[in-house]
Amino acid sequence: MGMTMSQKILADHAGAASVKAGELIEADLDLVLGNDITSPVAIHEMDRMKNRRVFSQDKIALVMDHFIPNKDIKSAEHCKCVRNFASEFGITNYFDVGQMGIEHALLPEKGLVVAGNLCIGADSHTCTYGALGAFSTGVGSTDMAAGMASGKAWFKVPSAIRVLVTGKKRKYVTGKDLILHLIGEIGVDGALYQSLEFTGDGIADLSMDDRFTIANMAIEAGAKNGIFPVDEQTLAYMKEHASTCGKTYEADPDAEYTRTVTIDLAQLEPTVSFPHLPSNARKISEITEAIPMDQAVIGSCTNGRISDLRAAAEILKGRHVKKGLRCIVIPATQDIYLQAMEEGLLKIFIEAGAVVSTPTCGPCLGGYMGILAAGERCISTTNRNFIGRMGDVTSEVYLASPYVAAASAVTGKISSPEELQ
């Protein structure tokens, strides 16, 4: 029996010739990640260890991104705890205000994850790096602590769902629409404990930013990881950002998948996920009622990259945000922020009546920088629309692409970019 791409990476890191779905293995880690919310819990756990140590100063990444610049005194204490830890152990990849970005946009940009790597992160969206052909998955703080100390973690080898992507996208269709559609098809637990392995000739039509968005939201289908094959685009991205292109793995031709889901890109439309689950996905053409919005958020680890900002700017250029609606744009990293400035995108946003924030996870998880009041609605390029996710328990989050979020910001209700023409 052949192995999936994910299984091959796990086998190599466990020093095994082959692994099977369901098997429990211990594997060597290439990177352990934590942020300002999850790292303090991990550091407290490490403090309880008899042998307090880190396995490598260079293979741990600590990114202050959720509640920073510090939103309150308690958040400041958390960051201070992580800052002191990074200093004590000489952690090279510690990113604080001024260097930081949203972790899952930052790590690939800094070349800290490449194809074939095995990474864990104390953040559920760690699955983002599957876009680079790496196996990466979210864990909790105790796993992070054990990983930082030992450089190892235990895994149950996952089975996989094959997602066969064909065709070419239409104008205004993005990776976000693909992943919302897929979650709508298979449900929020449709890939529970499994890998989502993307394959097919349609992948060539997905940019790296599209792939990051898609892999990022694999967790919203319950998946352990989402992974893409390595192609010319992946290699070009790694050559630009990293010192190595890692190792390319391919699934065996006879690899076993529990099912295959086919997605024809040409059939996709801009898609919106309604409250309160990412699986409540509806095509924009099926939304016939007017759904007024109070806020639009364009950013996050899902959609805060340069192509996302370009898409939003394409819509907002020469237009104005609807009176009474707040539009918040959050570039995901300092480099993206700078690039957006150089390309004139920030000017477009500000002239349109939007605000531009420093990189932060902020409103995505209801931290700060755009919290919703009772009954308010937000169209958002983020990844979760759970009850109370962005504020009051009666507020509502609608998930969409940057095109749709920007178009909705202009009209004040959920809108397709095509409506503006």
Partner 1 sequence: MNAQGKVFKYGDNIDTDVIIPARYLNSSDPAELATHCMEDIDKTFTERVHQGDIIVGLKNFGCGSSREHAPIAIKAAGVSCVIAETFARIFFRNSINIGLPILECPEAAAEIQDGDTVCVDFSTGVIRDLTQNKEYKAQPFPPFMQKIISAGGLINYVNQNE
Q: Confirm or reject binding of residue 49 to partner 1 (CB under 8 A).
A: yes
Between CA 418 and CA 250 the distance in angstroms is: 39
The closest of 3, 250, 241, 230 to 115, measured between CA atoms, is 230
The closest of 127, 169, 415 to 288, measured between CA atoms, is 415
- Choose one: 38-46, 266-274, 287-295, 297-305; the region binding partner 1 (CB under 8 A): 38-46
| Token code pair at residue 124 | 């559920």
The closest of 88, 82, 114 to 100, measured between CA atoms, is 82
Comparing CB distances to partner 1, the nearer of 222 and 229 is 222
Q: Confirm or reject binding of residue 373 to partner 1 (CB under 8 A).
A: no
Q: CA of 370: how far to CAs of 55, 195, 349, in Å?
A: 39, 33, 16
Q: Confirm or reject binding of residue 74 to partner 1 (CB under 8 A).
A: yes
Q: Confirm or reject binding of residue 65 to partner 1 (CB under 8 A).
A: no
What is the nearest approach in angstroms of partner 1 to the Cβ of residue 238? 26
The closest of 339, 289, 266, 262 to 105, measured between CA atoms, is 339
What is the nearest approach in angstroms of partner 1 to the Cβ of residue 132? 20
- Helix %, strand %, coil % of the chain (to 5): 40, 20, 45
Q: Which of 25, 97, 164, 188 binds partner 1 (CB under 8 A)?
A: 188
| Token code pair at residue 134 | 């790496």
The closest of 328, 219, 221, 197 to 281, measured between CA atoms, is 221
Q: Confirm or reject binding of residue 181 to partner 1 (CB under 8 A).
A: no
Beta bridge partners of 118: 135
User: What residues between 311 and 350 interact with partner 1 by CB under 8 A?
Assistant: none
Q: Confirm or reject binding of residue 40 to partner 1 (CB under 8 A).
A: yes
Binding mask 236-265 for partner 1 (x = CB under 8 A): ------------------------------
* Geometric angle at alpha carbon 360, from 220 and 399, rounded to 5°: 35
Q: Which of 243, 323, 393, 421 binds partner 1 (CB under 8 A)?
A: 393
- Choose one: 39-47, 56-64, 202-210, 292-300; the region binding partner 1 (CB under 8 A): 39-47
- Choose one: 42-50, 300-308, 315-323, 324-332; the region binding partner 1 (CB under 8 A): 42-50
Q: Which of 176, 322, 384, 413 binds partner 1 (CB under 8 A)?
A: 384
Q: Confirm or reject binding of residue 59 to partner 1 (CB under 8 A).
A: no
Query: How many alpha carbons fall within 13 Å on the CB side of residue 326?
Result: 16
Residues near partner 1 (CB under 8 A): 24, 37-38, 40-41, 44-45, 48-51, 66-67, 71-72, 74-75, 78, 122-124, 126, 138-143, 145-146, 188-189, 192-193, 219, 222, 224, 277, 365-367, 384, 386-389, 393
